[in-house]
Amino acid sequence: MHIDIVPNRNSPPAVLLRESVREGTRIRKQTLANLSHWDPARVELLRRLLRGELDRAAWGEPVSGPVFGLLFVLRKVAEELGIVEALGRQRWGKLGLFLTLARVAHQGSRLSAVRWSQDQAVEEILAVGRFDEDDLYAALEELARLQTEIESRL
């Protein structure tokens, strides 16, 4: 199948959806539909589709970046409540903030929170580098040690 544009003398050209059919040694064009009334952008899109330009193989695998929205909104709420300031700017404070936000958004274990973070924009939103569950447990120990100080800041 292909799009064929046939000029008309005193009229706009006819836009036809056609198929080539072999009859013996001859090739004949068979008209399947008249697309003259279609918008030109729509005709061009159909032409590209018929050529295979819009196939998944032509574009490669779809790529998406980390999820941004939920963690961003939760961080803004934590800022408004004073949680960000109470936990501080050190790495353990940022990891503590991540644990708090992950508990609200994900509600899983520490290991599942680490796995969940791989799809989230944690580095961009919380400015904390890579971490694993051991880092989260170390942050919890530091937060427990400073619990009364953090509570007084809140």
> What confidence score (pLDDT) does residue 57 get?
60
Q: Under a CB-based contact definition with an 8 Å cutoff, are residues 150 and 79 in contact?
A: no
**Rounded mean pLDDT, 80-96:** 94
Q: What is the mean pLDDT of the chain?
A: 89
* Nearest residue to 76 via CA among 90, 97, 92: 97
88: number of Cβ within 10 Å: 17
Q: Residues 98-141: pLDDT tens digits?
A: 999 999 998 888 889 999 999 899 999 999 999 999 999 999 99
Question: Which residues, in sequence order, are bridge partners of residue 19?
Answer: 30
pLDDT score recorded for residue 6:
93
Q: Is the pLDDT of residue 65 over 80?
A: no
Give the per-residue pLDDT at 107: 86
| Higher local confidence (pLDDT), 64 or 83 | 83
The candidate with the shortest Cα–Cα distance to 140, out of 110, 119, 112, is: 110
The token pair at 93 is 């404070």
Using the predicted structure, report yes or no on whether residue 55 has a pLDDT greater than 70. no
Average pLDDT of span 87-107? 93
Instruction: Work out the average pLDDT over 68-90.
Output: 93
Distance CA 99, CA 105 (A): 10
Mean pLDDT of the region 13-40: 93
Q: Has residue 30 got a pLDDT over 80?
A: yes
